[in-house]
Amino acid sequence: MTHPTAFEINQPHPSVVDASLASTRQSVFWLDDVAHTRRESLVGAHQYDLAIVGGGFLGLWTAVRAKERQPELSVCVIEANRIGWAASGRNGGFAEASLTHGEENGKRRWPDELDTLDRLGLENLDGIEETVSRYGMDVEFERTGTLAVAVEPHQVEWISGEQGFLTTEEVRAEVASPTYLAGQWEKESTALVHPAKLVLELGRVAEDLGVTIFERSAVRDIRGPQSTPTVVAERGSVSATKVVLATNAFPSLLRRNRLMTVPVYDYVLVTEPLSAEQLASIGWKNRQGLADLGNQFHYYRLTADNRILFGGYDAIYFPGGKIRAEYENRPASHRRLANHFFATFPQLEGLRFTHKWAGVIDSSSRFCAFFGTARGDSVAYALGFTGLGVAATRFAADVCLDVLSGEPTERTELQMVRERPLPFPPEPAATIGVQATRWSMNRADHNEGKRNLLLKTLDAVGMGFES
């Protein structure tokens, strides 16, 4: 038996949604909020100790960590567009300590390592905070934690009795929403950042440490002997002793990884700044990151100027697994987000959304990053962050540098690091499977969280997910 969700029961009038989206522009708020430095393209033949392909969080953290660990190394980053233009500049800015995409996902896959992974994840988040402080990075870093909110009765049961549990009255005293039935506030495990500023500041720090960043230089191939692979771009090349591939959801330069991730589009809205009266109507004095507990969940937060970023729920895989700019404008998803926003905060009726956009998530079948090497261990890679890359990319950068060094570390000995997830099936099976899974997750959200045969089967073979 299926039941309507809180967002269906509390739907706003369509005119409220219409008015909120009437003047919204298709643009990324974070990227509009920063000024970009123009950098040179890769032209001609060059030689470096370490070449990094990809100028997002993973590539830039790898560059910074490499120079911190070995200042004498010559390091370059090669980016197809401009640093941070893709997922690293489009996400919600949640820097989470979890390396496993939540306790349940980690417990199911690596129960014997979970305590170690939790410790390493917190150390990694502490390391980000320390780096921000040491280099004076202007990234709007706030260690607020995350408030997970139950909006359905069965979700209350999931968190009841857990550390940080809040009753209906307590959670609504933190953030006032009629949809909240309970909550769980983890105060140390999440920081909020301005993701585009974090990208640009990592770029600044990397260059201050001596890293060369090439932009508008799409890499097409890796050639040459294993001892000195050559990274080949459109108008230039780099011969390097070691290479790190940090290409996120885009097609891997390694054929073995082509079926290891699928590109899933995530949609986001940002409001105009709230007035003092509007902010008072919802409380939110502690500025936590927020997420509800559905299979199809929303994440939301305040920006530095008191806008609300509201994203998630729809996770859209387009047939064929292509990445295309036109997929970023999906009126049905943005309208659904606006509908759910005013179901959550009816007291904000009249508020307008200024920005709407989408970003591509590199989803892996285990819902968190995996790692590996190629070409005689001269090439390292990490991918499949599944929306967890704001903080986990720093950990992954250290893993990549560890495996390239050849020296075992606590990180490289982890089962999580040593094993690969199951690949996704080729098309058209991938499209059929993803759509069936999305339908099943939606049905579970309408059926007290109960998982059907498909979801139970995916759980059994290691491709299910519970955060």
Task: For residue 448, name the pLDDT band (cuts at 50, 70, 90).
Answer: confident
pLDDT per residue as tens digits for the range 109-120? 999 999 999 999
Q: Say yes or no: do domains 6-22+146-186+262-361 and 44-135+194-260+366-418 share a fold.
A: no
Which pLDDT band holds residue 1 (cuts at 50, 70, 90)? low
Task: Name the residue with tokens 């960043």.
Answer: 213
Say which range, 182-186, 224-228, 452-456, has the weakest mean pLDDT. 452-456
Closest CA to 266 of 405, 172, 359, 331: 359
Report d(CA 242, CA 240) in Å as an integer.
5
Please give the DSSP secondary-structure letter assigned to residue 257.
G
Query: Minimal CA–CA distance to 131: which of 408, 401, 398?
Result: 398
pLDDT at 227: 83
Query: Residue 228 above 90 pLDDT?
Result: no
Under 8 Å CB-to-CB from 121, ≥6 apart: which residues?
96, 97, 98, 99, 100, 189, 391, 392, 395
Mean pLDDT calculated for residue range 190-206: 98
Band of residue 463 on the pLDDT scale cut at 50, 70, 90: low
- Cα 27 off chain centre by: 18
Are the C-beta atoms of 246 and 56 separated by less than 8 Å? yes
How many alpha carbons fall within 13 Å on the CB side of residue 237?
12
311-316: Cβ within 8 A, 24+ apart: 311/92, 311/266, 311/267, 311/268, 311/269, 311/337, 312/92, 312/266, 312/267, 312/337, 313/267, 313/337, 313/340, 314/265, 314/266, 314/267, 315/264, 315/265, 315/266, 315/361, 315/438, 316/264, 316/265, 316/267
CATH code at 6-22+146-186+262-361 = 3.30.9.10
- pLDDT score of 462: 64
Pairing outcome for strands 236-245 and 230-233: antiparallel
Q: What are residue 7's phi and psi, to 5 degrees?
A: -75, -25
Query: Is the pLDDT score of 459 beyond 80?
Result: no
At residue 106, the pLDDT reads 92
Domain locations along the chain: 6-22+146-186+262-361, 44-135+194-260+366-418, 429-460
Q: How confident is the model at residue 430 (pLDDT cuts 50, 70, 90)?
A: confident
Cα–Cα–Cα angle for 134, 300, 194, rounded to 5 degrees: 25
Q: What's the rounded mean pLDDT across residues 127-155?
A: 97
- In the chain, what percentage of residues exceed pLDDT 90? 87
Q: Tell me how far apart the alpha carbons of residues 147 and 241 are, in angstroms, rounded to a whole number.
A: 45
- Which pLDDT band, with edges at 50, 70 and 90, does 467 fall under? very low
CATH number of 44-135+194-260+366-418: 3.50.50.60
User: If we measure between CA atoms, which residue out of 302, 300, 298 comes closest to residue 312?
Assistant: 298
Instruction: Please state the φ and ψ torsions of residue 312, each to the nearest 5 degrees.
Output: 100, -150
Q: What is the pLDDT of residues 405-426, one digit of tens each?
A: 999 999 999 999 999 999 999 9
Count of H-run helices and E-run strands, the chain: 15, 19
What is the rounded average pLDDT of the residues 427-434?
88
Higher local confidence (pLDDT), 55 or 441? 55
The whole-number average pLDDT for the span 293-312 is: 96
Please, what's the b/e burial string for 74-104 (b: 16 or more CB within 10 A of its CB; e: otherwise)?
Answer: bbbbbbbebbbbbbbbbbbbbbbbbbbbbbe
SS3 content of the chain, % helix, strand, coil (to 5): 35, 25, 40
pLDDT, averaged across the chain: 94
Q: How far apart are CA 254 and CA 452, in angstroms?
A: 35
**Could you please report the per-residue DSSP string of 389-441?**
HHHHHHHHHHHHHHHHHT---TTTT-HHHHPPPPPPPPTTHHHHHHHHHHHHH
Could you read off the pLDDT of 386-407 as tens digits, one per residue?
A: 999 999 999 999 999 999 999 9
